[in-house]
Structure 1
Amino acid sequence: MPVASSGNSIPDIQKLPDGALLTRRQLAEISSFKVITLKVWAKQGRGPKITRVENRPRYRAQDVREWMAAG
């Protein structure tokens, strides 16, 4: 699955393919929440669904869009 670019630009969540994977930092940029907030929420079972890749948290673009629409 493609991983969204980790460059300086904020990925456009609406243009990414459903299976594109975002890092926690990219999700923070898109959502305007801090990385630490996303970490805490993950421990509490909140936020978008996490997909683990080599035991690292990643977020599918489709899951992020659904989470943002529900919020």
Structure 2
Amino acid sequence: MTTPNPNPNLPTRKVGVSTAVGALTVVLVWIAGSLGVVVPEVVASAVTVILASIAGYMVPERDL
């Protein structure tokens, strides 16, 4: 059971982790590209969405 968010303007833990994983994936794809690894844009986008979705699914719902 989740507790009500005392400040509804703050994201929940699931949202925060999903956002952080999405941003981290984008940075990792950029690093790979700078090292000469060719990652097509659609693949990079798909990997970002998949990993962010998995992270959001796995993190328990609690307020930050």
TM-score normalised over the length of structure 1: 0.23
Query: Which structure has the highest helix share of the two?
Result: 2
Using CA pairs under 8 Å that are at least 6 residues apart, name the structure with larger relative contact order, 1 or 2. 2
TM-score normalised over the length of structure 2: 0.24
